[in-house]
């Protein structure tokens, strides 16, 4: 039965890596107990349980006490391991199928607070402007510091159409209160289209843009369909955007990497023992026919996203651009306990083809491009030119220029093209694809001459 349970790298309701953890903390050697000592401790645990239940000032909920004890025990191992009661396990399975109810937000525990890893594309959280790195400090006016991460998740969930109030603290230090309407979250893993650089003319080259928002059960199929359609558009290269992608299935990350590779290692996972090593290798057949690829990452790119970026980077197949990724290099698995509950436990670390573990480090981009506000400081048509002179001859072939936009038009919501133009990292990524494509063409030309 366990073999049917897919390995999953990220869980919505389970704590992720704790920000601000002390990396320099000295690791104490593990002192193992004898069987006799373990039984003595278990006997003490039973005594603590009975004493607390019998002496607590109010009626004690035995089930909650025991679930909390199991959760704390697994949480002591690492931030990703936890006990899943029936509701949690059902929620997990619903999310892994790509549809669930809520706000569409991936969160983690950060020193007792709730921090946003990333909002999911096209969800209430994203539309409300919640960003990676934001803190959620209140849910319906209740402080989150008094809640576990699972409790915080449950408070944000609810019947679609109902509302929840979140108080958000951003990097600028100014808290703001947002009211979000819950919705059924349908995660479409892959979006794609052909793009041109901002303000480019119709003769400029087309670039294949592929956005992967998470790595789910259908990601591989969706990606292959996207590449097939973009290849028919004769794109010169690809921008693979995994910014703010918190992860997903390990198998999906392997399949995505394989689509762009013709050979080479993709990822290796190593368990508790030295013999527990599993290596994934690319199969022949690069669907993009060797065209240039730029992978965009940022601090919200985690786990499966980092596998893909690391695989393409180490194999020299893609240039990675953006900012340092999240740094989650461990693999989790769900182990059902037979009564509808399960434990979610870390079973291995994963390594890039070069043997590098990215745990707590992340993927370092080949070219660091921090997201910036794009400001045009030079006009396409200067006010100082021949046309600015009084009585200058008109161009009889010139097309008539449109009227200036009214104030109302200026205030309208940005189009997709305008949003692309303001995405500094995307524009620089497309610049790089064009540059790499030209270098590739020159290299082929030189080979022909020789």
Highest mean pLDDT among 143-147, 273-277, 329-333, 366-370: 366-370
* pLDDT band with cut points at 50, 70 and 90 for residue 99: low
Active site residue 157: no
Return the SS3 of 124.
helix
Query: Any idea which of 59-68, 207-216, 369-378, 406-415 has the lowest mean pLDDT?
Result: 406-415
Counting Cβ atoms within 10 Å, is residue 356 exposed (0-12), middle (13-18) or buried (19+)?
middle
What whole-number distance in Å separates Cα of residue 319 and Cα of residue 331? Answer: 25
The pLDDT of residue 33 is 94
Contacts of 319 (CB under 8 A, 6+ apart): 292, 293, 294, 295, 313, 366, 367, 432, 436
Three-state SS for 26?
coil
Specify whether the CB–CB gap between 326 and 299 falls below 8 A: yes
Is-catalytic flag, 408? no
Residue 199 in contact with residue 231, Cβ under 8 Å? Answer: no
Residue 305 and residue 250 in contact, taking contact as beta carbons nearer than 8 Å: no
Burial class (CB in 10 A: 0-12, 13-18, 19+), 338: exposed
**Percent of the chain beyond pLDDT 90?**
51
Point out the catalytic residue in the list 303, 305, 323, 330: 303
The answer to whether 305 and 118 are in contact (CB under 8 A) is no
Q: Stretch 236-263: mean pLDDT, rounded? A: 95
pLDDT confidence band for 376 (50 / 70 / 90): low
Q: Terminal CA-to-CA distance of the chain, rounded, Å?
A: 59
**For residues 126 and 213, what is the distance between their CA atoms, to the nearest angstrom?**
12
Dihedral angle computed from the Cα positions of residues 245, 248, 249 and 254, in that order, rounded to the nearest 10 degrees? 20
Model pLDDT, residue 286: 97
CB 208 within 8 A of CB 179: no
What is the rounded average pLDDT of the residues 399-416? Answer: 53
pLDDT digits (tens, 9 = 90+) for 300-333: 899 999 999 999 999 999 999 999 998 999 988 8
Instruction: Determine the Cα–Cα distance for residues 349 and 351; give it in Å rounded to an integer.
Output: 7
Which of 88, 265, 314, 423 is an active site residue? Answer: 314
Mean pLDDT of the residues in the chain: 83
Band (pLDDT 50/70/90 cuts) for residue 395 is low
Contacts of residue 222, Cβ cutoff 8 Å, sequence gap at least 6? 188, 189, 190
User: Does residue 110 contact residue 18 with C-beta atoms inside 8 Å?
Assistant: yes
DSSP letters, 236-280, are S-EEEE-TT---BBHHHHHHHHHHH-SSSEEEEEE-SSTT-EEEE
Position 407 confidence tier, pLDDT thresholds 50, 70, 90: very low
- Residue 47, classified by CB atoms within 10 Å of its CB into exposed (0-12), middle (13-18) or buried (19+), is exposed
| Choice among 328, 330, 420, 423 that is catalytic | 328
Positive or negative, the Cα torsion across 386, 391, 397, 403? positive
pLDDT value of position 137: 92
Rounded to 10 degrees, the C-alpha dihedral 355/353/77/28 comes to 10
Phi, psi angles (nearest 5°) of residue 269: -115, 140
Q: Is 272 a catalytic residue?
A: no
Query: Which helix (H) or strand (E) covers residue 82, if one does?
Result: strand 82-84
Q: CA 116, CA 124: separation in Å to the nearest integer?
A: 14
Q: How far is it between the farthest Cα atoms of the chain?
A: 102
């Amino acid at each position: 039965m366990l073999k049917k349970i897919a390995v999953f790298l990220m869980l919505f309701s389970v704590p992720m890596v704790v920000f601000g953890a002390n990396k320099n903390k000295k690791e104490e050697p593990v002192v193992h107990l004898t069987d006799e000592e373990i039984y003595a401790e278990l006997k003490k645990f039973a005594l603590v349980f009975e004493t607390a239940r019998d002496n607590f000032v109010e009626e004690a909920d035995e089930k909650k006490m025991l679930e909390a004890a199991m959760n704390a025990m697994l949480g002591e191992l690492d931030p990703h391991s936890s006990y899943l009661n029936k509701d949690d396990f059902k929620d997990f399975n619903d999310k892994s199928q790509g549809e669930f109810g809520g706000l569409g937000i991936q969160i983690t525990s950060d020193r007792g607070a709730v921090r946003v890893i990333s909002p999911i594309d096209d969800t209430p959280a994203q539309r409300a402007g919640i960003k990676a790195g934001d803190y959620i400090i209140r849910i319906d006016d209740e402080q989150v510091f008094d809640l576990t991460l699972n409790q915080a998740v449950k408070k944000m969930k609810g019947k679609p159409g109902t509302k929840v109030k979140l108080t958000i603290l951003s990097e600028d230090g100014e808290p703001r209160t947002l009211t979000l309407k819950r919705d059924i979250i349908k995660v479409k893993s892959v979006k794609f289209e052909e793009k041109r650089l901002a303000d480019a003319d119709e003769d400029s080259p087309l670039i294949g843009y592929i956005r992967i928002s998470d790595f789910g059960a259908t990601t591989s199929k969706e990606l292959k369909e996207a590449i097939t359609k973009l290849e028919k558009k004769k794109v010169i290269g690809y921008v693979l955007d995994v910014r703010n992608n918190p992860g997903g299935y390990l198998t999906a990350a392997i399949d995505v990497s394989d689509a762009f590779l013709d050979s080479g290692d993709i990822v290796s996972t190593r368990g508790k023992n030295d013999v527990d090593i599993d290596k994934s290798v690319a199969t022949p057949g690069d669907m993009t026919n060797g065209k240039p690829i730029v992978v965009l990452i940022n601090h919200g790119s985690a786990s499966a996203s980092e596998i893909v970026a690391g695989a393409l980077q180490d194999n020299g197949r893609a240039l990675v651009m953006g900012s340092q990724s999240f740094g989650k290099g461990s693999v989790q698995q769900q182990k059902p306990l037979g009564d509808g509950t399960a434990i979610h436990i870390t079973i291995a670390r994963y390594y890039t083809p070069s043997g590098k573990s990215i745990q707590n480090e992340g993927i370092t981009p080949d070219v660091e491009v921090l997201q910036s506000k794009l400001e045009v400081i030079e006009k396409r048509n200067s006010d100082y030119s021949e046309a600015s002179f009084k009585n200058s001859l008109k161009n009889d072939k010139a097309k008539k220029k449109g009227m200036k936009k009214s104030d109302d038009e200026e205030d309208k919501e940005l189009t997709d093209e305008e949003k692309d133009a303001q995405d500094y990292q995307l524009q620089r990524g497309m610049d790089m694809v064009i540059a790499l494509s030209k270098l590739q063409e020159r290299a082929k030309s030189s080979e022909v001459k020789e």
